[in-house]
Each structure stands twice: as structure tokens, then as C-alpha cells.
Amino acid sequence: MDQNKLYTTKWLDYQDFKIVVNYLNTANTTRLSEEQLVWVKNLMQGMNSNRTHYDYSLIPSLNVVDPYWLIGFIEAEGTFGFKNLVPYFQIGQHTRSLMVLNAIALFLQSLPKSFPFTLNSLPPVVANSLNKKTNVSVITVNSIDALYDYLMFFLLAIPLQTRKSLDFLYWCLVLHFHKFGHFYLPEGRAAVNQIVQYANKGRYSNNPDKVSSPDLSNIENILGLTLPVLLTSSMSHLHLAQAFSSLVTLRNVWVYENGKLLNSKPFTSFAAAQEAIGLPRTSVAVRRNIDTGKSYLNRYTFYSHLTPHDGKTN
């Protein structure tokens, strides 16, 4: 432990722990007097969650981030998450160890580009936010291009060793769907929704609402589809998304309420569908949930086609 130092406030707990271990080793006994027991218990009462004093000058500085150390840290503290079916990467830590997050952020921002196809993609921009209720500070990378071109291949080169590795690989699939545009196909969006529901806690055996694993053959079929827009080396992800969006001149939106068709004819825009269920026309609820099978407000589902249980499809 002395040779492989800890860089968070846990180092202070280790130092107190070591004092007791060294004392017992020197005394060559595990039987302590009442006075010695009081000393040890007083020391313990100031450790871990009971600690109130932090001497940061005693904590080693993380001047150089070792990639293997970082992988271990990600195994414990990292999140391969999704927000509205869009992947992001996140690491959280109590604000007492903010110096570690800052060092990791600098490392992520210095990653070399591993996927050079997209010519103008920029290194990860790391956002930092604070949960004031828990005093947990979080660093996040959201850019699809930065996640794909820089971070994903770095992590693939040093594989994770815990069950988080499977979550990471599914996260990579979703990232690939976004990067190349498969996500903007109805089939792709539905497949991403299945992956999002399954990954992380959805697949755990102790989850009362355990989700079935995605159909990998279906994913392979979607990856084999001909895309109406092909990613070029000069395109950013934003440009690709805009190109897909420009193909939609008329949007049919079928709205289901508790599984029943709300209207006999489709709404011709997201705004009209949202207005029909009492949402502002400027809402993004339909855009985010259409063709995912995901229930909005546990009540509404949205499709760009009639669903099979109606007995007909377009």
C-alpha cells in the first residue's frame, strides 16, 4: 500500500490503520490493555465516515494518471450511462476528493484520437457538476464524437474485468448506432431502447423488473441496413443528425394511451401529437420516445407506424 498509494481521502484512513498495525506488530501481541483499547477506539472513531478533519497536505498528489489505475477507478466509480437513449460517460466522487477528479479530467482531455476518420472531432470536453445534497462531484463527457473517437477505443484497449465490462460493451453498441446514424432509423431506435433497458441494473438477477437481453441477431441486421445518410469524414455528429432530420418532411405520429390508439388518424407532427395529450407544442417528449416502446408518464407510447397489435401495419 505504501508503494501503490491511494489518492483520495481514503489515504488518511489508511495512515491511521497503519499506525495500529505497526503498533501491534511492534508489541508482538493482539491483546491490548484497557488503555490501549481506548486509544485504538478513539482512533477508529475519527476514520472513514466518522472523519471530520482532513489534512490534504498528507494525501499524495496524482500528478500522472496511470491508465491501468484509471481502469480500476472506473470499475468502481464510473458510469456508462444513457440519458434519453443518448450515451454519456461519468465518474463521481465526494467533493473531498475533487483533486482526483480534476486529474482524471485532464487525462481524458489529453487522450489521443484513436478513430481518425472524423477529421474535425475535438478531444473530450469534461463537464463538472455538483450534487449539493450529497456533496458528490461528477465529471461527464457527452459528445458522441469525443466518446467514440477518443474514449471508446482507449477503454477497449484495456478491457474492464468486472461485470461492468458487459455494460460497457452494450454502451459501445449504442454509441456506434449514434455515431453512424443507425439510431435515427425506427429499427435502430427500438434496438437502442432495448439495450438501454437491459444494461446496468436492468439485467441484474435481483432486479424485480429484470429485462430480457437484446437480440444480437436483430442488432446485426440493423447494422447491415442501407443508411439514407452516410457519415463522411468532414461530418460532425451534429451534422449527421441534422442530415437525418432533414429527410423527414412529414411525420406521422400514432399515439397510444394505455395501449389503445388515441386517434384514428396519425398526427402529422410531433407538436400536434404533444398538444393532443396536453403537452406544450415545443416539448421534446414525442421526439425522444417515438418508436422506442417506452411509456411516457406510464401512459402514452408513440410510433411512426401502426403497431402490430392493431392488426395492420403500414
pTM over 0.75: yes
Please calculate the CA angle 168-136-165 and round it to the nearest 5 degrees.
10
Alpha-carbon distance 77 to 71, whole Å? 10
CB-based contacts of 145: which residues, under 8 Å, 6+ apart?
Answer: 118, 121, 122, 179, 236, 237
Mean pLDDT of 214-243: 95
In whole angstroms, what is the distance from residue 131 CA to residue 90 CA? 13
Residue 43: all three cell numbers together: 482512533
Confidence of residue 23 (pLDDT cuts 50, 70, 90): confident
Q: Which residues pair with 87 in a beta bridge?
A: 82
37-51, 61-75, 236-250: the lowest-pLDDT one: 236-250
**Beta carbons of 122 and 109 less than 8 angstroms apart:** no
Question: Is the Cβ–Cβ distance between 117 and 106 less than 8 Å?
Answer: no
Neighbours of 310 (CB within 10 A): 13
Phi, psi of 270 (to 5 degrees): -60, -45
Contacts of 270 (CB under 8 A, 6+ apart): 251, 253, 284, 286, 287, 290
Reference 115, options 91, 151, 67, 72; nearest CA is 151
Q: How far apart are CA 196 and CA 306, in angstroms?
A: 23
Helix (H, G, I), strand (E, B) or coil at 8: coil
Percent of residues, the chain, with pLDDT higher than 70:
96
Give the pLDDT confidence of 46-78 residue by residue, as tens digits: 999 899 889 999 999 999 999 999 999 999 999
Q: Under CATH, to which class is 67-221 assigned? A: alpha beta
Interval 155-204: pLDDT, tens: 999 999 999 999 999 999 999 999 999 999 989 998 999 999 999 888 88
pLDDT of the residue at 311: 41
pLDDT band, residue 313 (cuts 50/70/90): very low
**Rounded to an integer, what distance in angstroms lies between the CA atom of residue 145 and that of residue 240?**
11
Q: Is 133 a residue whose pLDDT tops 60? A: yes
> Which residues of the chain are in CATH 3.10.28.10 domains?
67-221
Q: Which residues pair with 303 in a beta bridge?
A: 254
Residue 29 above 80 pLDDT?
A: no
Long-range contacts of 55-58 (CB under 8 A, 24+ apart): 55/12, 56/99, 58/11, 58/12, 58/15
